[in-house]
Each structure stands twice: as C-alpha cells, then as structure tokens.
Structure 1
C-alpha cells in the first residue's frame, strides 16, 4: 500500500543509518574471510603435498567458495550504500513535507492527521470582528477563497507525500535487486538512482532491446468528466515484467522477434460514456504468462508465428461500442494453458488462427472488431473455448489494410488494363 501522510510524518529514519553501518561491517568482514580462506585453505592445500583428482575437485570447490565470499562482500557493501543513500533522500523528502505543513500553519491553515488542510484564520477573530466580517459583502468571497487555498495546500501536501512514496518504492526495488536470487549477488549495484529505477531499457550490443520493470505494488484511480464520463481503477502487485525485442535484417529478409514475460497480480476496471461511444470492462489475473513471437514482413506474403503460455487464475468481462470499435467478451479460468497462433497477409488482407490447450477449468468467449487510428487497419477476431478439466480454445483473427488492398487492386487492374475499375475502387477506398 502507498505511504500515507501519517506514515511519512511519523517515520523514524534513524534505523536506516544503523542498518547501513551493520551492512558495511558485514561487507568488510566478508572481505577478511575471503582473504583468510584463500590463504589458509585454498593456497595451503595447493602446496604440492596433495596431488590427484581429489585435489582438483577440492580446488574447484574452493574457487567457488572464494567467489561466494567476494560476492557476499559486494552485495553487503552495495546494501550498505543503498541504505545510507535512502536515509539521506528520504530524510530530505520527509523534511519537505514537514516544511510544507509548517508553512501552511503559519498562514492559518490547520493540517489534520490525513494531510487535509482547513483554514482556521476566522477562528482567531474576536466576536465583534466575526460579526463585522459576516456582514461584509465580500465575506462569501473570502470564505470561498480560503476554501480554495485550503484545497491547494491539501493537494501540495498530497503531492509531496506521493514523492516520498515513490522514493520509498525506489529504495525497495534497489534492495530487492541487490539481494539477488540463488546466491550472493556479485554484481549488486550500490547507486540508488540506478538500482532503484522503475524500469531498465537498453539496446544491447547484439541488437536486443531489453526492458524490465518490477517488483512493484500500487493502486491508481483516474477519471475525466470531459465530453461525458470516463474512469479507470487499477491495482497491481508485480513481481516482474520482462520484454526483449530485436529486428534481424539479413539481406532481403526483415524479421522481428519479441519475447515477453510477466508474473504478478492485477485487477482493473474501467468505464466510458461519451460522444465517442460506450465501454466497460473489469478483469483480474494472478499468475505468470509468457509470449514469444516472430514476424517476417519483407516478402509479398508477410508471416507471423506466436506462442503463448499462462499459469494461474483469471476472470473478466468487457463490452465496447464506438464508431471504430465493437467488442464483447467474458472469461473465467484457473489452471494452465498454452497455445500457438500463426497467419499470413496477402494483398492487404491478413488471416490468422489460434489454438490453445487448457488444463484446468474455465470458459471463454469473445468477438469484436476495431480500427487502428494510426495505421488505418481493421482487425476482426473471435475466440471460444472451455475445459473441465481438459480442453482448449480456437480462434480466428482477420486484418484488413485498406491502403495495401487498394494498391493491390490497382496493380491488378493495371495488369488487365481495367483502368476505370481501378479508379472506382481506389475512390471507394
């Protein structure tokens, strides 16, 4: 859960420094142990008096143990550095919140335990001053102005608290990453700005673009009254999200590869009612999913092949009707599923299919079409499936690219000399 105003203003950050000192001592001690182990165990037994396969096996094990001591030192010193930086940063941000509250109080605004500001300047007036003020024609305006400024103080305090929470989440991510998995982390990062970043995206020397996010937890609620009503709720507890992409260009070939994996829990709900149309959806899922896709887009008949897998629980319902999109769907599933999808495109029309195998219990059905505003493509698709306890699902996906289809028709018309047909179809598209 996000930090509250009370959490931020009452937190004792002193233990962070104490913990940092202990981790620093631990790191130094691991360094000493590594030196002692190498001198009194690893090198001492390699003095030439012991020979054979047993020595070789022991030295391999000893080398690994020494590297673990070194990794433990690196990890401990990184954690010590992160905790020290966390104390500095969180103390600074906590002081910013307290200074903001002090400024509000100095201007006669009281801040309660939740961070809400209320103007109390009128309470300091004498009875005669209050009576005179209430008969002043500008009194309603003064009250409204005080309420508006109180809301501005409340919003500023909430924003400052959110900044502290974001920094706290950054520290959490950094510490989790420094700890590593399956042993000590020999590459632990001690820079809070780098280790605590919400995600990492970089293009590797071999051409892969890698993006990672998480761990993370949060809740958001948004809404807009513009041109109708729209709103969205989202709660999540992400263990991690990994995406890798690469384009492989070799002569005339144009191949792209995408790998995506996610683990965690998410729940979303949204609604919309505006001049564009109506929509509503609610969905939750807990578990892990992965996808790998390869596409070849350079030839006359582009191809794609996609594999997907999911383990966990999911449920959802959705409906949407706008000028450029219509769709309905519902699903509930618990277990494991895996599937493949493939297809091709010819003359601007793509045809693909999906097939899934399910082990668990559930049912799913969906159908819809939509237009991509950026590309102008239309996509039509549907899927249905069920399992108790084994089963699966089949689906179809069709895309129509009016621009490519128009060009294909034009080329065909040129080939047979049907210019009037070409112009008529081109104008229609």
Structure 2
C-alpha cells in the first residue's frame, strides 16, 4: 500500500538510526562468538585425540555452526548499514516534502491533510479589497491562474511523496534480501546470509519481474536440507508416572523440506514438500494417566510428499500427494482420553497416493486413494484428538498381492476454528440487525 501525505509528514524516522547501532553491536558480538566457538569448541575437539565416525560427524556440524556465526555477523552488519542508509535517504526526502509545503504556505497556499494545495491569499485581504477584486475585469483570469498554480503545488507535493514511497519500498526489498539465505553454506538454505548486501543502492533495486506481481499479496517461506548422518535417541521409562518409553535410530542419506504461503486479506494459499532417503526405526510404549499406547516401525528406502491448501475466509480446499519406494513395517495400538488408535502395515515395493478434501468453518472431509506395486497389506483406524487438538476419524484399508492399492476416508473437526466461525457469523448477524434498527 502506497504511503500517504500524512504518513510522510508525521513519521518519526529517528528510531532507524537508533536500531542501526543495535544491529551493529549484534554483528560485532556474533563475530566474537565465532572466534570463541572455533577456539574453545571446534579446535579443542579437533586436536587429533578423538577419531572415528562420531568425530567426523561432530566436526562437520561444528564447521557448519562456525560458518553460521560468521554469516550471522555479516547479515547483522549488512542490516545495520541498510538502516543507516535508509535513515539518511528517508529523512532527506521527508524534509524535501516539508520544505515544499512550507514554501507553498509562504506564498498563500494552504495544504490540507491529503496534500492538496488551495490558494487562500484572497482570504487575508480586507473586505473592501475583496469586493474591489470581484469587480475587477481580470478577476476571473486571476482566479484561474491561482487554481493552476495550486494544482502545480499539489502535483509537486504528490511527486515528492511518491519519491518517499519508492525509497521506502527499496528499503523493504533490501532488508528482505539481506535476511534471506539461499546458499547451501553452513546449515544450508534458510540459515544466516553470509553475503548480505549492505549498500541500499544495490540491494534495494526492484525485481525485473516486479511489474507482473499482484499488489497486496504477502509471501512467506522457508526450506532446509541435511544429510548424510546417523543418530539414535531414547527416553524413559518413568515407572512412577507410567511415562512412555521411546527409542529411535536413523541412518539418513538425505532429507529436504520446504514450505510457504501467499496471502491477501481473507485469501490464502499454502503448501509444502518433503523428501527423505535412508533407513529409520522406532519403538515406543507406556501407560500414563491419559491412556495406554504402544507402537513399532521400521522403514528403508525413499519417500516424498507434497501438500497444498487454498482458503477463502472459513472455506478451504486441500490436497496431498505421497510416494514411497522400499520396505516398511509397522504396528500401533492405543486407547485413552484422546480416543482410539490401532493399525498395522507391511509392504515391499513402491506406492503412491493422493488425498483431496474440503474444510468449511473447521469441519473437514476428504478421501485418499493409493496405488501399490508390490506385496503388502494395511489396516488402520485413528479416532480421537490429535496433538493439535483436532478431533479426527480416519479409517484406512489396503491390500496388494502384487498390484493393488488402498482407500481411506477422513473426517476432522477443529474446535478452535469452529468457535471462530460461529463468532464471525454471530458478529455478522449482529451487525445486520444493527443496520435494520
């Protein structure tokens, strides 16, 4: 949304200079942390006394961490420089607007809250002089010239406001680019920006395709990538509290995720994708005050998924697609205050599936269809409340002697969204009744 006359003349730009100094100190501090980390952590564990796979993995992670500290310093100092440039440029352009207004006012033109100039010189004259002017044959010509000059002042002020808005958009682009990392360095895409540009004139230039973008849409996104790597973890059990015991092991060849959204008012598009290749296994079980549950699973191969959703106010449509290749084995059972969960599956080969559904006001229904190439079978039922507080009912059945598939249905209820929708409807009804009364 473009800046208005009031936005420009009333803005207090002094915080830009103050926060620039803070960002500069943050950058210097990250540089100190990088030096301390390399000296006291990375070097201490890389002195040759520790060898093996674990040492190699630790040194790889340590190298990435050190790189991110350095990248954080570069990003913070770039942001500090951009804010300094922004303060200098925006204050200069703001002063140009104010000077233009003062010059117009000194010549008997009044500038209103929208930046429109009007000649008021006649208003300051005594009544007898105004009467004499009205009788002057040149009065219509003088009025016309005053209106033309007023329009010239109005156009000049609008042009000066436009210059501030263009500079403001430039600052926005520069800051977004400085804090967006697209390099695989360090921890990969999505970390700190090691090559952030701190020159506003360079970093704030418009995108070549900026003219094709729809104004008003706001985008967000993030991504990550990792691997190869191995690891294990375990927790519990706490026999006194009946806490769940869990154990997990994985050998990852690679993992990548990405998600993003595009929103404009009540309209929102969102999506994500994930890919994994490697092997992993898990085992869990326990008795708690919330119920009894247990599960076991193993997988070796590759899997990928993608999902998307479109919302317009309380109405939404969603879709998912998944593909797997390899071998997997799993079983789970549980009963408790959140519902009932039970199922088992065994499969060797490749499978792919697609899910589609609709959501209205927090109540959603959908269906899943899968195609299998390879022997396997699956039966699953999830009924109850998930970790996000959404109540769900999901039965799934599948069988494949060699070629086959599976079919599933889902019905979910999100209490929070339902309450929000009911509240919105109630407010709309109340507004409508208020208009009739």
Taking structure 2 as the reference length, what is the TM-score of the superposition? 0.51
**What is the distance in 1 between the residues matched to 2:55 and 2:151?**
74
After TM superposition, list the pairs within 5 Å mapping 1:30-109 onto structure 2: 30-109=30-109
After TM superposition, list the pairs within 5 Å mapping 1:230-309 onto structure 2: 236-239=216-219, 264-265=262-263, 286-287=268-269
Instruction: State the Cα distance separating 1:135 from its structure 2 match.
Output: 0.5
**What is the distance in 2 between the residues matched to 1:21 and 1:140?**
58
| 1:312 paired to 2:296 | no
Instruction: State the Cα distance separating 1:122 from its structure 2 match.
Output: 0.6
Task: Please give the per-residue CA displacement for 1:151-170, whole angstroms capped at 9, x wherever unaligned.
Answer: 22222212211221221122
SS in 1 for 2:113: coil
SS in 1 for 2:105: helix
CA 235–80 in structure 1, closer or farther in 2 if over 3 Å, else same:
closer
Task: Please give the per-residue CA displacement for 1:353-402, whole angstroms capped at 9, x wherever unaligned.
Answer: xxxx964389xxxxxxxxxxxxxxxxxxxxxxxxx9789xxxxxxxxxxx
CA 153–289 in structure 1, closer or farther in 2 if over 3 Å, else same:
farther
**What is the distance in 1 between the residues matched to 2:80 and 2:5?**
27
| 1:198 paired to 2:206 | yes
Task: List structure 1 runs of 4+ shifted beyond 6 angstroms.
Answer: 388-391
Task: Please give the per-residue CA displacement for 1:310-339, whole angstroms capped at 9, x wherever unaligned.
Answer: 741469xxxxxxxxxxxxxxxxx8414799
CA contact (8 A) 1:79 1:175 kept: yes
Moved more, 93-102 or 50-59: 50-59
After TM superposition, list the pairs within 5 Å mapping 1:326-345 onto structure 2: 334-336=316-318
Q: Which residue of 2 aligns with 1:383?
A: none
CA 311–159 in structure 1, closer or farther in 2 if over 3 Å, else same:
farther
| 1:160 paired to 2:168 | no
| 1:145 paired to 2:145 | yes
Task: Please give the per-residue CA displacement for 1:393-426, whole angstroms capped at 9, x wherever unaligned.
Answer: xxxxxxxxxxxxxxxxxxxxxxxxxxxxxxxxxx
CA 390–159 in structure 1, closer or farther in 2 if over 3 Å, else same:
farther
**What is the distance in 2 between the residues matched to 1:178 and 1:138?**
60
Taking structure 1 as the reference length, what is the TM-score of the superposition? 0.52
CA 338–142 in structure 1, closer or farther in 2 if over 3 Å, else same:
farther
CA contact (8 A) 1:75 1:185 kept: yes
CA 43–265 in structure 1, closer or farther in 2 if over 3 Å, else same:
closer
Q: Which residue of 2 aligns with 1:185?
A: 193
Task: Please give the per-residue CA displacement for 1:15-44, whole angstroms capped at 9, x wherever unaligned.
Answer: 111111111121112112111211122112
Name the Cα RMSD after superposition: 3.7
**What is the distance in 1 between the residues matched to 2:122 and 2:260?**
55
Q: Which residue of 2 aligns with 1:22?
A: 22
**What is the distance in 1 between the residues matched to 2:169 and 2:161?**
12
CA contact (8 A) 1:212 1:240 kept: no
SS in 2 for 1:43: helix
CA 263–140 in structure 1, closer or farther in 2 if over 3 Å, else same:
farther
SS in 2 for 1:115: coil
CA 74–15 in structure 1, closer or farther in 2 if over 3 Å, else same:
same
**What is the distance in 2 between the residues matched to 1:75 and 1:97?**
32
Q: Which residue of 2 aligns with 1:136?
A: 136
**What is the distance in 1 between the residues matched to 2:126 and 2:180?**
64
**What is the distance in 2 between the residues matched to 1:314 and 1:99?**
46
**What is the distance in 1 between the residues matched to 2:155 and 2:91?**
21
Instruction: State the Cα distance separating 1:266 from its structure 2 match.
Output: 5.4
**What is the distance in 1 between the residues matched to 2:69 and 2:57?**
19
Structure 1, unmatched stretches of 5+, are: 202-210, 217-233, 242-260, 268-283, 291-308, 316-332, 340-356, 363-387, 392-429
Q: Which residue of 2 aligns with 1:10?
A: 10
CA 130–25 in structure 1, closer or farther in 2 if over 3 Å, else same:
same
CA 334–45 in structure 1, closer or farther in 2 if over 3 Å, else same:
closer
**What is the distance in 2 between the residues matched to 1:157 and 1:142?**
23
